[in-house]
Amino acid sequence: MNACLVAIAEHGLVPSVQAARMTLAAAPEAWQGAMAAGLLGMGTVVAGSSEVAGRYLAEIVAAGRDEAAVLASLTGLKAARRKVPGLGHPQHSAGDPRADRLLAIADDLGVSGAHVAVLRLLGAHAGQVMNRPLPVNVSGAIPAVILDAGWPLEALKAVPLLARAGGLAAHLYEESRRPIGFIMSHQADLAIGYDGEPAK
Query: One digit per residue, pLDDT tens: the chain, 200 residues?
Result: 999 999 999 888 989 999 999 999 999 999 999 999 999 988 777 777 899 999 999 999 999 989 999 999 999 999 999 999 999 876 666 789 999 999 999 999 999 999 999 999 999 999 999 999 999 999 999 999 999 999 999 999 999 999 999 999 999 999 999 999 899 888 888 888 888 888 77
Per-residue pLDDT, 173: 97
Per-residue pLDDT, 92: 65
Per-residue pLDDT, 48: 77
Per-residue pLDDT, 41: 82
Distance from C-alpha of 173 to C-alpha of 36, rounded to nearest angstrom:
15
Write phi, then psi, for 136 (nearest 5 degrees). -60, 135
Per-residue pLDDT, 8: 92
Per-residue pLDDT, 176: 95
Distance from C-alpha of 181 to C-alpha of 91, rounded to nearest angstrom:
26
Distance from C-alpha of 160 to C-alpha of 48, rounded to nearest angstrom:
7
Per-residue pLDDT, 177: 96
Distance from C-alpha of 60 to C-alpha of 62, rounded to nearest angstrom:
5
Per-residue pLDDT, 196: 87
CA distance to 95, 97, 179, per residue, from 101 (Å): 11, 6, 34
